[in-house]
């Protein structure tokens, strides 16, 4: 159980006396901007959905939507998209260029994922600071893919004439609407699991805000 | 936010049964609102004038982004007769029962603004111009779409015939039902923008905009005015019924 699942060199080259934050400032900033952008896009998107629901059984109560009416929700959605896409592109470019994705999101091995998933369900998955377990890696790569999908399907239904080749990839305008909805549902599903995991291991929250674990009363940097 | 709330809300008529059902269901479930979310979606943000002015400014930016993305030659996908949506929906800012038909015999299209020959046009006059037909998808700002067949005069042909200043920025429309909208000149000159006189091979029925509707398959449905009484070519932003309340002006597809 104590065996490290991956030998992540995430904190490898840290010069002595200068501990590296568990999450770089860039990752922390883009993470929280993304959380805000997702909140805006999902809640305004729900209001837009309500103007013409895809499924009879699915309707979002006004109290959890953003924008007040269809026109207001559309304004939020098409403002939020710039934040989501601008921040997302910066995050992805940084993730590839800095080696963060390769270092921290890979490898994705089915055996490890299965092992960690079983351990997690038994509440026996240790959280090693500075290293993502295989379930986390799968979730993060998965939500990245969903993020790409939600943006592309959104563009496809926003510009079904100018970007008609993209729209055709999703099976046309109506197909694009379904994919856009499904990608939203996947992201919301991720957020639910994500928040549950954070609630289970609350010490991860300060690491995502200030870059290190919080030790009240003691100013001590965390060593891996 | 006052401007956003000054008019009737977009109607959910078409979905009323669904909506009422869902509302009842959710009312029963009750109190689903999540603290932070309801804070975000409550009066604080929705009624805040600063937030509103930022959103409006971004909507103007989106007008420019869409104009840049708009291609004068890219055509909207066309469909076959078999794809036409049966019972194509009626849609307006009022219910179909409130529809006031126009008397086509006495109707004339009034012209104003930067136009050389402002002589009004009758339906018979319009029938003498070359006609074109299209089967295209109408996409509503609400999200639904439907495929229909419209025929009539290419708008570019008409604009050239009346000597419109095609360097002007806007064309504004006023309709018999007091609806208004306006479009950019590039869209007006697009090859698929037509003055529709027919729907599915027969004169436009009242519910689809008799005597004329401007069919623009590169724009959302609310930018396709029906029962048009007058049009004006202008450099002064004319706005529109929904646009003045906050719908994005360009609203291109
Ligand atoms: C208020 C809501 C959120 C909270 C409290 C939160 C919290 C966290 C925390 C604590 C971590 C670090 C986990 C660790 O160190 O093991 C993390 C990482 C991450 N979160 Fe969130 N999160 C939120 C919303 C979101 C949303 C909406 C998304 C995407 C749709 C998201 C995507 C991610 C990703 C991709 C990572 C990995 C970041 C990286 O290393 O590049 N989070 N989050």
Residue B91 CB-density burial (10 A; 0-12 exposed, 13-18 middle, 19+ buried): buried
- Residue in A52, A53, A63 nearest the CB of B41: A63
Chain A / chain B CB contacts < 8 angstroms: 134
A chain contacts of residue B77, beta-carbon cutoff 8 Å: 160-161, 164
The ipTM assigned to this model is 0.85
Mean pLDDT of B113-140: 98
State the nearest Cα–Cα gap between B106 and chain A, in angstroms.
Answer: 36
Mean pLDDT of B146-174: 98
Q: Which residues touch A118 (CB under 8 Å, ≥6 apart)?
A: none
Pick the residue whose CA is nearest to atom 25 on ligand 1. A35
Backbone phi, then psi, for B109, in 5-degree steps?
-85, 115
Q: How far apart are CA B202 and CA B148, in angstroms?
A: 12
pLDDT of residue B46: 63
Q: Which residues touch A21 (CB under 8 Å, ≥6 apart)?
A: A28, A207, A210, A211, A212
pLDDT of residue B10: 41
* pLDDT tens-digit series, residues A147-206: 999 999 999 999 999 999 999 999 999 999 999 999 999 999 999 999 999 999 999 999
Of all residues in chain B, the percent with pLDDT exceeding 70 is: 81
* pLDDT tens-digit series, residues B12-68: 344 444 444 444 444 333 333 444 444 455 555 666 889 999 999 999 999 999 999
A207 close to ligand 1 (CB < 6 Angstrom) = yes
Q: Separation of A194 CA from ligand 1 center, angstroms?
A: 7
Mean pLDDT of A30-51: 98
String of b and e for B220-237 (b: at least 16 CB within 10 Å)? bbbbbbbbbbbbbbbeee
State the nearest Cα–Cα gap between B194 and chain A, in angstroms.
Answer: 16
* pLDDT tens-digit series, residues A67-114: 999 999 999 999 999 999 999 999 999 999 999 999 999 999 999 999
CB contact under 8 A, A43 and B143: no
Mean residue pLDDT across chain B: 87
* pLDDT tens-digit series, residues A112-136: 999 999 998 888 888 888 889 999 9
Residue of A nearest to B9 (CA): A69
CB contact under 8 A, B253 and A160: yes
Q: How far apart are CA A107 and CA A54, in angstroms?
A: 38
pTM for this entry: 0.85
Q: State which CATH number among 3.30.420.40, 3.40.50.10860, 3.90.1150.10, 3.90.420.10 fits the domain covering B81-245.
A: 3.90.420.10
Q: Separation of B117 CA from ligand 1 center, angstroms?
A: 63
Tell which residue, B12, B32, B51, B30, has the closest CA to residue A40: B51
Taking the domains of chain A in order of start, what are their residue ranges? 22-104, 109-210
Taking the domains of chain B in order of start, what are their residue ranges? 13-69, 81-245
A chain contacts of residue B253, beta-carbon cutoff 8 Å: 159-162
CB contact under 8 A, A67 and B46: yes
Q: How far apart are CA B216 and CA B70, in angstroms?
A: 13
- For residue B6, pLDDT over 50 is answered with no
């Amino acid at each position: 159980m104590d065996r490290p699942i991956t030998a992540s060199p995430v904190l490898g080259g840290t010069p002595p006396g200068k501990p590296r934050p568990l999450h770089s400032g860039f990752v922390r900033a883009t993470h929280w901007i993304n959380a805000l952008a997702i909140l805006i896009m999902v809640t305004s998107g729900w209001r837009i959905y309500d103007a013409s629901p895809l499924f009879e059984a699915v309707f979002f109560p006004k109290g959890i939507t953003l924008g007040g009416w269809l026109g207001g929700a559309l304004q939020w959605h098409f403002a939020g998209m710039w934040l989501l896409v601008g921040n997302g592109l910066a995050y992805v470019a940084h993730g590839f260029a800095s080696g963060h994705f390769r270092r921290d999101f890979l490898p994705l091995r089915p055996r490890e994922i299965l092992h960690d998933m079983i351990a997690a369900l038994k509440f026996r998955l240790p959280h090693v600071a500075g290293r993502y377990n295989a379930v986390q890696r799968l979730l993060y790569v998965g939500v990245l893919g969903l993020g790409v999908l939600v943006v592309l399907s959104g563009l496809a239904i926003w510009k079904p004439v100018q970007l008609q080749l993209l729209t055709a990839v999703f099976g046309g305008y109506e197909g694009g609407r379904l994919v856009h909805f499904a990608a939203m549902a996947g992201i919301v599903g991720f957020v639910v699991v994500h928040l549950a995991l954070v609630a289970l291991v609350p010490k991860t929250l300060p690491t995502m805000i200030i870059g290190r674990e919080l030790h009240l009363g003691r100013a001590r940097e965390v060593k891996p | 936010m006052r401007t956003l709330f000054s008019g009737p809300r977009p109607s959910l008529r078409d979905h009323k049964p669904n909506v009422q059902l869902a509302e009842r269901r959710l009312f029963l479930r009750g109190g689903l609102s999540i603290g932070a979310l309801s804070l975000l979606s409550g009066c604080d943000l929705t009624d805040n004038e600063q937030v509103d002015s930022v959103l409006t400014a971004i909507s103007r930016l989106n007008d420019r982004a869409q104009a840049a993305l708009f291609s004068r030659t890219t055509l909207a996908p066309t469909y076959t007769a078999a794809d036409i949506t049966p019972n194509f929906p009626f849609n307006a800012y009022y219910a179909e029962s409130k529809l006031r038909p126009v008397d086509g015999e006495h109707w004339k299209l009034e012209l104003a603004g930067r136009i050389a020959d402002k002589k009004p046009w009758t339906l018979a006059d319009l029938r003498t111009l070359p006609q074109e037909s299209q089967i295209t998808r109408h996409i509503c700002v609400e999200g639904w779409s439907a495929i229909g067949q419209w025929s009539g005069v290419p708008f570019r042909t008409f604009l050239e015939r009346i000597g419109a200043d095609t360097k002007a920025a806007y064309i504004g429309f006023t309709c018999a039902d007091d609806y208004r909208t306006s479009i950019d000149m590039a869209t007006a000159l697009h090859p698929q923008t037509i003055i529709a006189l027919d729907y599915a091979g027969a004169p436009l029925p009242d519910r689809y905009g008799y005597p004329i509707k401007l069919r623009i398959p590169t724009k959302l449905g609310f930018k396709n005015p029906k029962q048009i009484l007058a049009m004006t070519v202008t450099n002064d932003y004319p706005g529109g019924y929904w646009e003045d309340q906050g719908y994005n002006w360009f609203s291109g597809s």
